[in-house]
């Protein structure tokens, strides 16, 4: 689980009586999260369903998800880290400066109430979205809410879970973790994995122009990345595997059309709580799957002499 | 009229919820009904058809065979000093494993949407 204090969504459904959503809008982005996993389901230890649960939403604006919440706390944009720091101090009974708390747009009383609720619940869960993890403070914000959840275990059972967006981004974390030891941003150019976000993360790599070829699989950076990154993709050889001819395909040297994951391609996908689920495709695609094309590219590369001479025999033995 | 195919407990991969209780009704090349799916899931399944809308592959913007495209791709990646393998979100774990293997072979950087 990568060191997180977390659980599965089945445990949330059966146990959680206090649910926090922070920096996310599940009502619009994960429409069945409330009804299938968290809020309205009746669980083994929450037999009354919605009545037996309390929900708090923390966000910078009142999204449609606020309608589902019992309490909505509006934090000032970019002040999430300060708010978590104040909450962690209050959890430990430390004094906090009301002037500093005021900067978050909330009062010490509101935060104290929030902490009292967290401490007095039987099983609390904190779901955090990109409104927390992708705004000012970024991974430090994620680290601080994970620490908050961990520290609350001195008083009750408390867990945290990121609200993951794209289908199998959780799977990418899991696969990279168990194959290389790191979750993302991994450089294998010395023949062993090195992890350094900021140096080996894609946007930074492309904007600096560090890499001299790219293979894009299950993503469309041509539509989402900053302009200097897109220009570098266009300048260097780029290869795209995608069910459609995308923005990235148009700036690439090679595009290969593949079957759509889950619709016409089988395989395994991880849910946001790191539970792997099999796909049951309903259609048969005229195109090969990502898996098949990746295997064929890999086999074509393996026919060439290995760049690391010592690896020649070892890699052939693995295939 | 193409035959109606019903798939029970199908898995939706649009968002991180990965709901696996969807009932899909497929007719020929397209999904026509998505029971229990949310509005995002419904448009996801109905949007991706099995029609042949695009060429098998493109090399420098021109239609090509998959065989040729695979060879050209392998050559570009092999020749690069610091290739990047990126994305990995909208694909299966099986393809992700192949991506890790390829990244190791070519001595490259591997990264996912998580780093954004």
pLDDT score of B86: 97
| Cβ neighbours of B71 in A, within 8 Å | 300
pLDDT score of A233: 97
Stretch B10-38: mean pLDDT: 94
Q: Which helix (H) or strand (E) holds A198?
A: none
Rounded to a whole number of angstroms, the distance from the CA of A288 to the nearest CA of chain B is: 9
pLDDT score of B57: 97
* Overall domain count for chain B: 2
**Looking at the structure, do residues B27 and B67 belong to the same domain, yes or no?**
no
pLDDT digits (tens, 9 = 90+) for B69-89: 999 999 999 999 999 999 999
Asked if the C-beta of A146 comes within 8 angstroms of chain B's C-beta atoms, the answer is no
Of A263, A268, A267, A254, nearest to A287 by C-alpha is A263
**Looking at the structure, do residues B69 and B105 belong to the same domain, yes or no?**
yes
Stretch A229-254: mean pLDDT: 96
pLDDT above 90 for A156: yes
| Cβ neighbours of A315 in B, within 8 Å | 105
The per-residue pLDDT of chain B, averaged, comes to 94
Residue from the list B13, B78, B98 with its beta carbon closest to the beta carbon of A291: B98
**Looking at the structure, do residues B62 and B102 belong to the same domain, yes or no?**
yes
Stretch A112-135: mean pLDDT: 95
Fold exhibited by the domain A9-162? Dimethylsulfoxide Reductase; domain 2 (3.40.228)
pLDDT digits (tens, 9 = 90+) for B35-59: 999 999 999 999 999 999 999 999 9
| Cβ neighbours of B114 in A, within 8 Å | 169, 172-173, 183-184
Stretch A207-223: mean pLDDT: 94
**Looking at the structure, do residues B41 and B66 belong to the same domain, yes or no?**
no
* Cβ within 8 Å, pair B9-A280: yes
Of A69, A109, A105, A111, nearest to A86 by C-alpha is A111
Partners of residue A217 on adjacent β-strands: A241, B87
* Cβ within 8 Å, pair A290-B77: no
**Looking at the structure, do residues B62 and B109 belong to the same domain, yes or no?**
yes
pLDDT digits (tens, 9 = 90+) for A244-276: 999 999 999 999 999 999 999 999 999 999 999
**What phi and psi values does residue B22 have, to the nearest 5 degrees?**
-85, 140
- pLDDT confidence bin for B115, thresholds 50/70/90: confident
Asked if the C-beta of A128 comes within 8 angstroms of chain B's C-beta atoms, the answer is no
| Cβ neighbours of B100 in A, within 8 Å | 175-176, 179-180
Report the b/e string of B26-61 with b at 16+ CB within 10 A. beebbbebbeebbebbbebbeebbbeeebbbbbbee
Residue B52 domain-assigned (yes or no) = no
pLDDT above 90 for A313: no
- pLDDT confidence bin for B60, thresholds 50/70/90: very high
**Looking at the structure, do residues B86 and B110 belong to the same domain, yes or no?**
yes
| Closest chain B residue to the Cα of A319, Cα to Cα | B101
- pLDDT confidence bin for A165, thresholds 50/70/90: confident
Q: Which domain holds residue B72?
A: 57-115
Residues in chain A: 319
- pLDDT confidence bin for A315, thresholds 50/70/90: low
pLDDT above 90 for A172: yes
A216 touches A248 (CB < 8 A) = yes
* Cβ within 8 Å, pair B86-A301: no
């Amino acid at each position: 689980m990568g060191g997180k204090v977390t659980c599965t969504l089945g445990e949330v459904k059966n146990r959680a009586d206090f649910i926090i959503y922070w920096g996310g809008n599940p009502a619009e982005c994960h429409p069945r999260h409330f009804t299938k996993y968290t809020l309205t389901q009746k669980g083994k230890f929450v037999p009354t369903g919605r009545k037996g649960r309390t929900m708090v939403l923390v966000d910078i604006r009142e999204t449609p998800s606020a309608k589902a919440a019992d309490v909505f706390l509006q934090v000032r944009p970019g002040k999430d880290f300060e708010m978590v720091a104040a909450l962690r101090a209050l959890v430990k009974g430390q004094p906090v400066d009301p002037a500093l708390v005021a900067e978050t747009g909330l009062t010490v009383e509101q935060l104290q109430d929030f902490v009292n609720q967290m401490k007095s619940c039987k099983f609390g869960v904190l779901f955090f979205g990109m409104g927390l993890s992708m705004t000012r403070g970024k991974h430090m914000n994620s680290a601080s809410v994970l620490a908050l959840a961990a520290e609350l275990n001195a008083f009750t059972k408390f867990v945290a879970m990121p609200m993951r967006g794209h289908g199998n981004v959780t799977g990418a974390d899991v696969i990279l973790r168990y194959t290389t030891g790191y979750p993302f941003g991994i450089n294998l150019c010395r023949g062993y994995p090195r992890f350094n976000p900021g140096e080996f993360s894609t946007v930074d790599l492309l904007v600096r122009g560090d890499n001299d070829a790219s293979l894009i699989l299950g993503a469309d950076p041509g539509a989402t990345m900053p302009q200097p990154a897109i220009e570098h993709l266009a300048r260097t050889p780029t290869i795209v595997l995608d069910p459609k001819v995308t923005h990235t395909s148009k700036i690439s040297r090679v595009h290969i059309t593949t079957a759509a994951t889950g619709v016409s391609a089988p395989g395994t996908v991880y849910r946001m709580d790191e539970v792997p689920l099999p796909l049951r495709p309903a259609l048969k695609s005229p195109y090969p799957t990502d898996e098949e094309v990746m295997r064929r590219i890999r086999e074509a590369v393996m026919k060439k002499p290995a760049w690391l001479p010592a690896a020649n025999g070892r890699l052939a033995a693995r295939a | 009229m193409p035959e109606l195919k019903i798939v029970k407990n199908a898995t939706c991969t649009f968002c991180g919820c990965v709901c696996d209780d969807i009932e899909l009704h497929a007719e020929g090349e397209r999904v026509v009904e998505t029971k229990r799916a949310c509005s995002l899931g419904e448009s996801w399944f109905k949007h991706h058809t099995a029609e042949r809308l695009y060429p098998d592959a493109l090399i420098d913007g021109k239609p090509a065979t998959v065989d040729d495209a695979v060879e050209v791709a392998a050559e570009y990646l092999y020749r690069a000093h610091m290739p990047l393998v990126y994305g990995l979100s909208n694909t299966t774990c099986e393809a992700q494993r192949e991506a890790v293997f390829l990244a190791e072979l070519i001595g490259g950087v591997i990264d996912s949407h998580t780093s954004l």
